[in-house]
Homo-oligomer: A and B are copies of this chain.
Amino acid sequence: MSNATTVFRDLTQGVCAVFASLALSAFALFATTPWAAEPTPKVNLVGRTVPEIDSLPEGPYRALVVQGHELSTRTFAVIGPEVKNPRKRYAGNNLACTSCHQAGGAKPFAIPWVGVTATFPQYRGREDQISTVEERINGCMERSMNGKPLPLDSPEMKAFTTYIAFLSKGVPVGAQIEGAAVLQSAVPNRRAEPLAGIVVYVDKCAACHGADGMGQRAGQRGDAQGYTFPPLWGPDSFNNGAGMNRLLTTTRFIRQNMPLGASHTATVLNDDEAYDVTAFMLSKPRPIKAHLEADFPARWNKPIDAAFPPYMLGATADQHRYGPYPPLAEKQSQMADKRKADMAANKARGAAEPASAATAK
């Protein structure tokens, strides 16, 4: 490991602990629930038995879980842009949910869905509010799937939430989940190099995703049969508002889950390879999401690798896109500390003054 990497790892574990969770919160189904004086139950997804649909008795519950599984693994065939019924074309690309959420949403550190039922409603920085699991699903629909939100009363939404609840069986409500989202592994303390990433891409990624990044169609364009291997950029991939368009998060996802078959205990790419190949992938064109400036309205908790304006830390767009990130993390941490101190000062001032005077201001 390079010295620079060591420094960033130290930073990440020390000063930037707050940042690390903030960076995740907008993208992944992160599962700390900060509410309790009571002990927060903990669940480790690694090595945990995954519920099997075959264990369910026949009936309407099983039928809905099966439908949710189908929607997740063959999204393109059920709600993709090429399905026959125009009203069902909710997704704008031919990806599947499980293009990213590997193993049917059950793989640890591959942004799994196991436990999600137990950890929503939760605060989401992207909306700066408490969000439901349905809202989180629609966050993906409008970004990763580059499409439209599912109606909250649609059978598809119910199938998704039921499948997620099925996967979450046994996880206590409010649990802290080890194995959620992506592993907070080290990322090099330097600018990521798309050009260096090309070498990695050609060597490790192109065989499946194609030299042009367009993936491999299962059948023909227009047949709603999706991809054997998904496109990584271009018009049929995730848009620039997706969590997967953030370099830190996606470096970690790729490090632990790519090429197919890799896991957090059996990685293929090293830290530098993952960082650069992700930069290469994210340097390519992809669909644009309108109104991205509305994301992270609280600003102070906007992830430093969310590479769209407004930028609040006085850094260039290029640095938000490609790093180096530790200086940004440090600035954001200072901003968070200042905000906290200001709030405490305001509170103290409010307590010192008569209530009516404080209100009149």
A121 contacts B by Cβ under 8 Å: yes
A121-B169 contact given A55-B35, A158-B130, CB 8 Å threshold: no
A353 contacts B by Cβ under 8 Å: no
CB distance from A229 to the nearest CB of B (A): 33
Chain B residues within an 8 Å CB radius of A60: 123, 128-130
- Residues B35 and A56 in contact, CB atoms below 8 Å apart: yes
CB distance from A342 to the nearest CB of B (A): 15
CB distance from A107 to the nearest CB of B (A): 18
- Residues A35 and B64 in contact, CB atoms below 8 Å apart: no
Q: List 18 A-B contacts (CB under 8 A).
A: A34-B61, A38-B49, A38-B55, A60-B129, A60-B130, A61-B121, A61-B123, A64-B130, A117-B118, A118-B173, A134-B152, A152-B152, A168-B173, A168-B174, A169-B173, A169-B174, A170-B174, A172-B172
* A 119-150 binary contact with B (CB < 8 Å = 1; else 0): 01111000011101010000000000000000
CB distance from A192 to the nearest CB of B (A): 33
A62-B38 contact given A153-B152, A161-B132, A162-B121, CB 8 Å threshold: no
* CA of A162 to CA of B166, assembled, Å: 20
3 shortest interchain CB distances as A-B pairs: A37-B55, A169-B174, A152-B152
CB distance from A257 to the nearest CB of B (A): 25
Instruction: State the number of copies, please.
Output: 2
A234 contacts B by Cβ under 8 Å: no
- Residues A35 and B49 in contact, CB atoms below 8 Å apart: no
* CA of A258 to CA of B64, assembled, Å: 39
Give the interface centre of A35, A36, A62, A130 by most chain B CB atoms within 10 Å: A130
Chain B residues within an 8 Å CB radius of A118: 117-118, 172-173
* CA of A183 to CA of B62, assembled, Å: 28
- Residues B35 and A121 in contact, CB atoms below 8 Å apart: no
- Residues A158 and B173 in contact, CB atoms below 8 Å apart: no
Q: Hey, which bits of chain A sit against chain B, CB under 8 A?
A: 33-38, 41, 49, 51-52, 55-57, 59-62, 64, 115, 117-118, 120-123, 128-130, 132, 134, 152-153, 158, 161-162, 165-166, 168-174
- Residues A173 and B171 in contact, CB atoms below 8 Å apart: yes
* CA of A34 to CA of B64, assembled, Å: 14
Q: Which of B38, B57, B129, B168 contacts A35 (CB 8 A)?
A: B57
CB distance from A81 to the nearest CB of B (A): 25
CB distance from A121 to the nearest CB of B (A): 5
* CA of A145 to CA of B169, assembled, Å: 32
* CA of A121 to CA of B36, assembled, Å: 26
Chain B residues within an 8 Å CB radius of A166: 35
Task: Considering the complex, give the chain B residue whose CB is closest to the CB of A169.
Answer: B174
Chain B residues within an 8 Å CB radius of A120: 165
Chain B residues within an 8 Å CB radius of A123: 59-61
A173-B170 contact given A56-B35, A121-B165, A132-B158, CB 8 Å threshold: yes
Q: Which of B36, B56, B169 contacts A169 (CB 8 A)?
A: B36
